């Protein structure tokens, strides 16, 4: 009994496969008939655009479908994007009745077998020929062709706000063979944003628009499809490798003015700040070398190198004023001004109001055993306070 049922199932399966093979073979035959009828040179000329009357305009729908994340090269100001450009139009010359062809209502043809729009990219860069694709054709004469383009564009690289910079890139396409009155290219819709998990730049928007290229005072007009891509840099990496170290260097250089004038660590501190700012400046310059304007962080680092050098010079001066034995007394107005600045301006130094020499038990009491030495020490403290405020204001101005 089981063997009998197994034989029945096997026979049914064989009949099904035989019918399926016959149906597929019949469909292949009908598709070949359709292709032969379309490519018959006596009835169809692929070099002639679709039109039923002499003045009819062929309407071509243009749609951009990105296959991946755009790649931006800031140094060269280039944007590269792989995308399918889907062109759709209607050609009644290649329509057929599915009833006469076994119900087949769609076929695929090579782009060399029928008329296709001629689309070129308006780019000053070296153009790469698109990868050809099959043309999808329906029985109503509706054709869809989606070749793969390697698109290149020039970008406006403004890194003033690096690493929070945004960039705008533009790409344009046109039909350079036929004018707008003959072949009218329309924008089918706005492109969708691609997946962008592992990219340095995030795509904020891709906006398309249609305009007209006019030549010879409007005598020749060609349709133009433009796309504007807005990208924003992901800041996670540069936040920890450039931005935060820059803030640390600025605070490190200003910390010099909080140390006592006689401290020998001031030169060590400013030397470390100067070296670090030079290394950060080299890295920031390498990243932002393609910018149209100087990034604000480069201004801060470049100005910081100069200010650190000036801070080092002022440190040597204030240290000598505090430690060296005075050879002459300061003028009275400088003494009063120094006391006012040292005692009443904010940002107090760790030392006392009148210097270490006021305490006869201090470790450096011998250096301040007279009034003249205390005056020079107070002047050194006042100089540090004034320069601290000046350099703080200078850094604030650079950051604006």
The model's pLDDT over 179-225, given as tens digits with 9 standing for 90+, comes to: 888 888 999 888 887 766 677 888 888 899 999 888 876 678 889 99
Give me the pLDDT at residue 131, please.
79
Give me the pLDDT at residue 63, please.
92
Of 154, 165, 125, 153, nearest in space to 293 by CA: 165
Q: What percent of the chain has pLDDT over 90?
A: 9
Give me the pLDDT at residue 87, please.
93
**362 has a pLDDT exceeding 70:** no
**6 has a pLDDT exceeding 70:** no
**301 has a pLDDT exceeding 50:** yes
The tokens 């692929």 sit on which residue?
Answer: 46
- Say what the pTM is: 0.71
Q: Over range 360-372, report the average pLDDT.
A: 50
Alpha helices of the chain — where are they, by DSSP H? 2-38, 236-238, 244-255, 265-287, 296-323, 332-344, 371-399
Give me the pLDDT at residue 209, please.
92
Q: Which domains does the chain have, with CATH numbers?
A: 58-234 (2.70.170.10), 237-399 (no CATH)
pLDDT band at 328 (very low <50, low <70, confident <90, very high): confident
Ramachandran angles phi, psi of 244, nearest 5°: -65, -40
- Measure the CA–CA gap between 62 and 15, rounded to whole angstroms: 47
**353 has a pLDDT exceeding 60:** no
**366 has a pLDDT exceeding 60:** no
């Amino acid at each position: 009994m089981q063997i009998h049922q197994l034989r029945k199932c096997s026979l049914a399966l064989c009949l099904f496969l035989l019918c399926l093979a016959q149906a597929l073979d019949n469909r292949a035959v009908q598709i070949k008939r359709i292709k032969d009828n379309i490519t018959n040179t006596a009835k169809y000329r692929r070099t002639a655009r679709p039109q039923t009357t002499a003045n009819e305009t062929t309407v071509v729908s243009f749609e951009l479908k990105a296959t991946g994340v755009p790649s931006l090269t800031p140094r060269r100001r280039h944007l590269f994007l792989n995308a399918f450009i889907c062109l759709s139009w209607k050609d009644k010359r290649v329509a057929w009745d599915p009833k006469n062809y076994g119900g087949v209502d769609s076929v695929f043809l090579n782009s060399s077998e029928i008329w296709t729009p001629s689309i070129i990219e308006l780019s000053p860069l070296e153009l790469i020929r698109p990868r050809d694709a099959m043309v999808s054709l329906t029985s109503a004469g509706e054709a869809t062709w989606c070749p793969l383009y390697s698109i290149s564009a020039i970008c406006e690289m403004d890194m003033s706000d690096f690493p929070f910079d945004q960039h705008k890139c533009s790409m344009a396409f046109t039909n350079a063979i036929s004018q707008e009155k003959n072949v009218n290219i329309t924008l089918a819709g706005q492109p969708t944003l691609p997946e962008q998990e592992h990219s340095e730049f995030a795509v904020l928007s891709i906006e398309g628009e249609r305009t007209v290229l006019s030549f010879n005072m409007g005598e020749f007009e060609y349709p133009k499809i433009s796309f504007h891509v807005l990208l924003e840099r992901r800041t996670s990496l540069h936040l920890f490798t450039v931005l935060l170290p820059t803030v640390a260097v600025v605070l490190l250089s200003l910390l010099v003015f909080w140390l006592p004038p006689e401290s020998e660590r001031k030169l060590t501190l400013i030397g470390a700040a100067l070296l670090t700012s030079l290394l950060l400046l080299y890295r920031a310059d390498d990243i932002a070398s393609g910018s149209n304007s100087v990034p604000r962080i480069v201004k801060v680092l470049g100005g910081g190198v100069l200010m650190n050098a000036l801070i080092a010079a002022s440190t040597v001066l204030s240290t000598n004023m505090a430690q060296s034995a005075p050879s002459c007394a300061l003028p009275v107005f400088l003494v009063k001004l120094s006391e006012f600045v040292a005692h009443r301006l904010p940002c107090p130094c760790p030392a006392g109001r009148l210097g270490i020499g006021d305490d006869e038990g201090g470790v450096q009491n011998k250096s301040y055993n007279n009034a003249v030495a205390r005056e020079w020490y107070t002047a050194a403290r006042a100089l540090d306070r004034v320069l601290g405020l000046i350099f703080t204001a200078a850094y604030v101005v650079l950051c604006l």
